[in-house]
Amino acid sequence: MKNVYIFGGSFAENRFSEKMLGNKKWTEIVADEFGFDNIEYRGEGATGNNRIAFKIFDQVLRFHNKIDLVLIWWSNWLCESFYCGEYNFTTSLKKSFKFNETQKDQALGQHEAFMKALTSYNHKNLPYHIINRNIIDNFVKTQKILECYDIPYIMIQGDCPLLFWYPELGEPNSHIGYTGIPTTLEEEQKLRELIKYDKMIELIEEQSQYINQKTFIWYPGVPELGGTNWNYKNSYESGFNQKYSEKNGKLTQEGQNYIASLFIERYKNLYV
């Protein structure tokens, strides 16, 4: 039996059928194309990249001899996942997080501490924390452990890494942000200033030397450095959202086919 393991956010979780239209998920299309008998979903909606990386390390260390291919859909870089007892929740600078109601007080306490630390006037290292956390701790280490065990893999910067919208590009095609709630261009501009966006772009360019970009679709996800992401294309690429996704966030079958084609093409270039 050939096994493909899927990691990431909502686009990579087992209940993904709730977010699709049509008959076949992108994961199934990829598996069928290359004769993988079994799909192991390890995705989790509304999760941060640190949580995704943790699950990858855990599964690879435990089951590396059973894994024939790994596909990864990376999330937003401003999200961090925390653990409250047996539950985890995700928080971000966009204030989108989830938690079990029985863990509400503890979750909110961690959320408030996280927000205070990241938005503190004296928190000058915010850009370094966010970029190092993602590029070095999550992406590079993931690539290294998979390459160490000689496991084929392909990653994609699926969600927007930092900004959902770019005020200088004007009104987007949709007014639903990556948190699933309405936002405004003014809010995106404030976020840009808060996270010291220009400094982050410099750090991404500097640290990209450590990334194996051949295995990383759309890296680094920001248009300033030649990358892109699903949210950016959905907001600014003419006709993209009408063809590939619906207003409620569900993918059309064409959207499923499109995502699958990205992985299939890259797999053929690297491993066939």
Number of helical H runs and strand E runs in the chain: 10, 7
Kindly report the average pLDDT of the chain as a whole number. Answer: 80
Strands (E), 124-176: 153-157
Indicate whether 146 pLDDT > 70: yes
What are the φ and ψ backbone dihedral angles of 91, each rounded to 5 degrees? -130, 160
Asked whether 16 and 53 are in contact (CB, 8 A), the reply is: no
> Which residue in the block uniquely carries the two structure tokens 């194996």?
212
pLDDT at 100: 47
Tell me how crowded residue 265 is: count the other CB atoms within 10 A of its CB. 12
Greatest mean pLDDT range, 122-131, 151-160, 168-177: 151-160
Distance from C-alpha of 180 to C-alpha of 173, rounded to nearest angstrom: 14
**Domain boundaries of the chain, sorted by first residue:** 3-271
pLDDT in tens, 237-267: 888 887 887 655 567 889 889 999 999 999 9
- What would the mean pLDDT of 75-90 be, rounded to a whole number? 65
Percent of the chain with pLDDT over 70: 74
Token pair for residue 173?
């095609």
Report the pLDDT value the prediction gives residue 67, as an integer from 0 to 100.
Answer: 97
What per-residue confidence (pLDDT) applies to 122? 47
Q: List the structure tokens of 53.
A: 């990386």
136-156: average pLDDT: 97
Q: Regarding beta strands 79-84 and 69-74, do their DSSP bridges make them parallel or antiparallel, or are they unpaired?
A: unpaired
What pLDDT is attached to residue 183? 62
Per-residue pLDDT band at 96 (split at 50, 70, 90): very low
Class of the CATH domain delimited by 3-271: alpha beta
Whether pLDDT at 98 is above 50: no
* Amino acid type, 174: S
pLDDT of residue 69: 98
**Token output for 219:** 């890296």
**Terminal C-alpha separation, the chain:** 19
